[in-house]
Amino acid sequence: MAGTFKNIRIKVFQSLPLIILFYISFKGSAVVDFNLFSINISYILVYYWVLRKPDILGYGYIFLAGIIIDVVFGFPLGVNALSLLIVASVAAYIRVVTVRITLLNDWISFIPALLIANFIFFISLYFTDFPIDYLYLFKNSAFTFIFYPFLWIFFSLISKLIEL
Q: Give pLDDT, residue 46.
A: 95
Q: How far apart are CA 48 and CA 162, in angstroms?
A: 15
* pLDDT score of 31: 64
As a whole number, mean pLDDT of residues 23-37 equals: 74
pLDDT one-digit tens code per residue, 62-109: 999 999 999 998 889 999 999 999 999 999 999 999 888 888 999 999
Check residue 12 and give its pLDDT: 80
Sign of the C-alpha dihedral, residues 100, 104, 105, 106? positive
User: Where in the chain are the domains?
Assistant: 41-163
Confidence (pLDDT) at 1 = 57
Neighbouring CB atoms inside 10 A of 143's CB total 17
Amino acid identity, residue 158? I
Query: What digits encode the pLDDT tens for the residues 35-66?
Result: 777 888 999 999 999 998 888 888 999 999 99
* Dihedral angle computed from the Cα positions of residues 105, 21, 61 and 98, in that order, rounded to the nearest 10 degrees: 10
pLDDT number for residue 2: 59
Q: What is the pLDDT of residue 149?
A: 94
- pLDDT, average across residues 116-134: 90
Average pLDDT over residues 3-18: 80
Predicted pLDDT of residue 22: 92
Q: How far is CA 59 from CA 22, 48, 72, 139, in A?
A: 13, 13, 20, 27
Residues in CB range of 159: below 8 A, 6 or more apart: 52, 53
Burial (CB count <10 Å: 0-12, 13-18, 19+), residue 126: exposed
Q: Answer whether residue 133 shows pLDDT above 90.
A: no
